[in-house]
Amino acid sequence: MKEQNQHCRKNSYKKVGYDLKLLIIDQIQNAQISINHAANKYQVSRASIYYWLKKYSTLEQKKQGMSKKDEIKKLKEKIEELEFVKD
């Protein structure tokens, strides 16, 4: 009966630093490594990697969204400046 319990043990994973998370995400997004291979290589759960990928992609979208808003704001200011010069 003890042998059966050993097979049901939960895998223990180590804490992963921010830099390593970015490295793993970068390798996966550049098709250098698969999620399964990364999970085995870095001793991280696949669920964690999926979570990081989702979190990273929403972070990138927010950055792009903010930069677009800033760009629009700058363009509006430039238009106002040019209209002032024109008059």
Model confidence over 9-66: pLDDT tens digits? Answer: 666 666 778 888 888 998 998 888 899 999 999 888 999 999 988 888 777 776 767 6
Split at pLDDT 50, 70, 90, the class of 83 is confident
User: What is the model's pLDDT at position 5?
Assistant: 52
User: What is the model's pLDDT at position 1?
Assistant: 47
For the chain, the domains span: 14-56, 59-86
User: What is the model's pLDDT at position 37?
Assistant: 92
What is the pLDDT averaged over residues 62-87? 81
DSSP sequence for 7-26: HTPPPP-----HHHHHHHHH
Q: Which residue do the tokens 């903010």 mark?
A: 66
